[in-house]
A and B are shown apart, each in its own frame.
Chain A
Amino acid sequence: MKYIDEYRDGATARAIAAAIRAEADPGRSYALMEFCGGHTHAISRYGIEDLLPAHVRMIHGPGCPVCVLPIGRIDGAIALARQPGLILCTYGDLLRVPGSGRTSLLKVKAEGADVRMVYSAADSLKIARDNPDRPVVFFAIGFETTTPPTALVLQQAKALKLSNFSVFCNHVLTPAAIASILESPEVRALGTVPLDGFIGPAHVSTVIGSRPYDYFAEEYQKPVVIAGFEPLDVLQAILMLVRQLNEGRYEVENEFSRAVTREGNRKAQAVVAEVFELRRRFEWRGLGQVPYSALRIKAPYAEWDAEKRFDLPDRSVPDVKACDCGAILRGLKKPADCRLFGKACTPESPMGSCMVSAEGACAAYWTYGRFRHAQQGTA
């Protein structure tokens, strides 16, 4: 397929990896965080870590929206799904995320709740139009990629005066999470790893542009390279980070220039700005309360805000004790470090959110068998 195959060529991958090995200074180490779960997935799928020298390490970041949603919000969705007559629409990944007491949307669905998996926010609007006498709630999650579609659907619901439809908004922001990993005292107290540079997200950046990363490069003196999701993109970005670090530079570079501009997608940004505003704080799994890190629905759209329409539990619920998702999301641990990994916790029966979505570090490690290699390495 065009724009895919040419970015997956094995010979070129080995050549770029050889360049990384040649240029990485053996006298220092390079701890590079890929923020985004899409990159975590690509790194596992294509075995990119196996191509890197030992002193160039990839640290997996918290950029998987399913993984960072705290249990309290899952409980909120479960409470909605249990309302008599209500139809709860959501992206498939969320069905298996465990809430309190090991329940999940899938389990309440089996008990009779009307939970429907949708591919797109637009599908949930259609379900609302087809079921005018039942309340329909879209359980919306995601970073800046899924936010514009949710905003558009809210605009359409308002234009159609669709009174049975509302959105349970859990949209979160990438820059706030990166800042939190770098500086929040709360995260520091929980423990982090020192980071030398970042691979910036691909599709999030198509929407927000490369400009928002300027701040990190400047303020924290860390290089950022925005990269596409194909294996050559990731390897090239690692090479670019190694070069910046060798030269003592800390700039924002854009490897994914075929889809990301400096300004981003202005049209999508305008739709989001019309519908959403910042929340003062929002809880993230693994990061705790992060200031100004999420969006809520603006007052003119209050009628379509599920949090205003329904009485939802708003409690902070701690993670399952033995689950290391929090430490994994902060880059402190690898999936194989968790005692439950592959034993009590598998994609079929996840104990934590990192095992659910394909972009979660635990699920990516499990699916592509990288942990076996890691175990051999440490044996």
Chain B
Amino acid sequence: MCLALPAQVTELLPDDMATVMLGGVAKEVSVALVEDVALGDYVIVHVGFALSKLDPEEAEKTLALFAEAAAAQ
């Protein structure tokens, strides 16, 4: 039950709620636990709550790290 997926925020709603796209499906989740969620952000959603934002720059860095390990082979 700890599995959670990155989802993109497509609409900000009242009461700290937001619509996110999860694998092509729109879902309403709470963003009350995360600071400054903006339209277009990717968030990690778990049991109906966003837990953190994804940092696009750091995501790129990790992909570069994989490529580096792969290139060394």
Contact = CB atoms under 8 A, between A and B. Distances in A.
Contacts of B70: 11-12, 15-16, 19
B30 to A, nearest CB: 6
Interface in A186-207: 201, 203-204, 206-207
Nearest to A21: B73
> Which secondary structure characterizes the binding site on chain A?
helix
A368 interface: no
B16 to A, nearest CB: 9
A206 B65 contact: no
A120 B30 CA distance: 10
B51 interface: yes
A2 interface: yes
A204 B59 contact: no
A19 B73 contact: yes
Interface in B10-35: 23, 30, 32-35
Given A206-B44, A259-B44, A4 B61 contact: no
Contact of B47 (A64, A149, A232, A233): A149
Contacts of A145: 2, 4, 46-47, 51
20 contacts: A1-B5, A2-B42, A3-B6, A16-B66, A19-B72, A37-B2, A41-B3, A91-B1, A120-B30, A121-B47, A146-B2, A203-B2, A203-B4, A206-B51, A207-B51, A228-B62, A229-B3, A258-B55, A259-B52, A265-B35
Interface string B27-71: 000101111000000101011110111111011011101110111
B73 A2 contact: no
Contacts of A258: 54-56, 58-59, 62
Contacts of A41: 3
Contacts of B33: 148-149, 152, 265, 267-268, 271
Give the 9 A-B residue pairs with the shortest CB-CB distance, closest first.
A120-B48, A15-B70, A206-B52, A258-B59, A3-B6, A257-B58, A258-B58, A268-B33, A18-B73
